[in-house]
Amino acid sequence: MLKITVLVSGGGTNLQAIIDAIASGKITNTEIVKVISNVKNAYALERAKNNNISYAYISRKNFETIEDWEKALANEIDCCGTQLIVLAGFLSILPESFTTRYKNKIINVHPALIPSFCGPGFYGLHVHEAALKKGVKVSGATVHFVTEEVDGGPIIAQKAVDVLPGDTPETLQKRIMEQAEWIILPQAIDDIANNRL
Amino acid sequence: MLKITVLVSGGGTNLQAIIDAIASGKITNTEIVKVISNVKNAYALERAKNNNISYAYISRKNFETIEDWEKALANEIDCCGTQLIVLAGFLSILPESFTTRYKNKIINVHPALIPSFCGPGFYGLHVHEAALKKGVKVSGATVHFVTEEVDGGPIIAQKAVDVLPGDTPETLQKRIMEQAEWIILPQAIDDIANNRL
């Protein structure tokens, strides 16, 4: 069984997609051992609770130094035997020492077709605002390994989604979640768990 | 009837796609009044000849100054009442005075999903080499208006194409032509000819 820890910041719909995919057998040989949120009242923590998954709240702002924050994160991650860290709508940038420590063991889902609309500053709705401002007709999502370069690690999976006339950042975000993120993130986890990468 | 001049540099498969789409009625209210190549023996010129379309060879290297070259191009374009200039695999960068002269009257097809893999240096096989080097799983093509910024003008249409394991720049180029360029370029011309933009 691949033991995964899921890092979240918000509603946790990608976490829910992983939970559902494990329940339905779309992801096999995988167990979520922990959910960690950097936002105190993130609904993602409720989802963990509802599914009897161990969870923790660890925010940068509660630690004096980056090193202390990283140590707390690593403790939570390591204590339960985590083999893969999944960033699922985690809106904090991890320090380079963290990505080095867990080299090839962190994946992220980004709501655009990398290398479009990625890098520092491109997170959450900002990604979709930029895509609509550029006037693209196709966007999508990317699952990639996390390295010290923001959104720069090796690509695991991508899926295109049409941009439609009248789209707002919110409607585009929703469609990309439903038609891409919730599909390719579970697939990537299943591929890793079953050594298909 | 929208009168179009098609600028080419090579085999002219996008030109052929336009010719075929006019013949089959996929493009309506449109007439190709001229084909101009900047490469002397481009097969695209044979396609023009075979279809009784007026054609010309105009290369930068045969003119002393950029201004003379531009004047020769503009003469050929204007003499037959051109209303839209279509860059269909045209591998020369047009001077800013040309794009300003024909503002909103030039469209281009680029073999990637702009803003990925575009701008100076990204032409022909180089685009697909860059996409494969980055490891994207989805690429595609874009039709856009041409402005002074290379590949930077307003996007008209885009279509995604899967990158497959084992792809070379050549196989990816062929798939993107067949599954995207030859579809969205004729569609864009038909949309312009019938005032649907």
Q: What is the mean pLDDT of residues B57-74?
A: 95
- Percent of chain B having pLDDT more than 70? 100
Does B138 contact A140 at a Cβ distance shorter than 8 Å? yes
pLDDT at B151 over 90: no
pLDDT for res A171: 98
Q: Is A110 a catalytic residue?
A: yes
Rg, C-alpha atoms of chain B: 16
Residue A9's pLDDT band, with cuts at 50, 70 and 90, is very high
Contacts for A3 with CB less than 8 Å, ≥ 6 apart = A31, A33, A80, A81, A82, A83, A84
CA pair distance B171, A136, nearest whole angstrom: 25
HSE (side-chain half, CA atoms, 13 Å) at A175: 17
Residue B98 CB: number of other CB atoms within 10 A?
19
Question: Could you read off the pLDDT of A138-170 as tens digits, one per residue?
Answer: 999 999 999 988 888 999 999 999 999 999 999
pLDDT for res A93: 86
B109 touches chain A (CB under 8 A): no
pLDDT for res B133: 97
A179 touches chain B (CB under 8 A): no
CA pair distance A1, A193, nearest whole angstrom: 7
Residue A10's pLDDT band, with cuts at 50, 70 and 90, is very high
> Residue B46 has which token pair?
């044979």
Q: What is the mean pLDDT of residues A121-125?
A: 91
Q: Give B106 to chain A, closest Cα distance, Å.
A: 18
> Residue B71 has which token pair?
């004047």
Of A110, A126, A128, A144, catalytic: A110
CA pair distance A155, A192, nearest whole angstrom: 13
CA pair distance A10, A168, nearest whole angstrom: 20
> Residue B27 has which token pair?
């493009």
Pick from B90, B56, B79, B109: nearest CA to B3: B79
pLDDT for res B187: 98
- 3-state secondary structure at position A31: strand
Residue A66's pLDDT band, with cuts at 50, 70 and 90, is very high
Helices A13-24, A43-50: crossing angle, 10 deg rounding: 20
Q: Give B78 to chain A, closest Cα distance, Å.
A: 30
pLDDT at A92 over 90: no
Residue B23's pLDDT band, with cuts at 50, 70 and 90, is very high
pLDDT at A197 over 90: no
A140 touches chain B (CB under 8 A): yes
pLDDT for res B150: 85
CA pair distance A38, B16, nearest whole angstrom: 56
B158 touches chain A (CB under 8 A): yes
Q: What is the mean pLDDT of residues B10-17?
A: 96
A111 touches chain B (CB under 8 A): no
Q: Which residues does residue A141 pair with via DSSP β-bridges, in sequence order?
A: A159
Q: Give A135 to chain B, closest Cα distance, Å.
A: 6
pLDDT for res B105: 97
B159 touches chain A (CB under 8 A): yes
- Percent of chain A having pLDDT more than 90? 92
Strands A106-110 and A138-145, by their bridges, are antiparallel
Does A138 contact B159 at a Cβ distance shorter than 8 Å? yes
Contacts for A133 with CB less than 8 Å, ≥ 6 apart = none
pLDDT at B92 over 90: no
* Residue, of B148 and B145, whose pLDDT is higher: B145
Does A136 contact B154 at a Cβ distance shorter than 8 Å? no
Residue B77's pLDDT band, with cuts at 50, 70 and 90, is very high
pLDDT at B197 over 90: no
Q: Which of A5-14, A89-98, B17-26, B174-183 has the lowest mean pLDDT?
A: A89-98
Pick from A142, A186, A181: nearest CA to A27: A186
Task: State chain B's mean pLDDT as an integer.
Answer: 96
- 3-state secondary structure at position B8: strand
Q: Which residues in chain B have their CB less than 8 angstroms from residue A115's CB? A: 116-117, 134, 136
pTM, 2 dp: 0.92
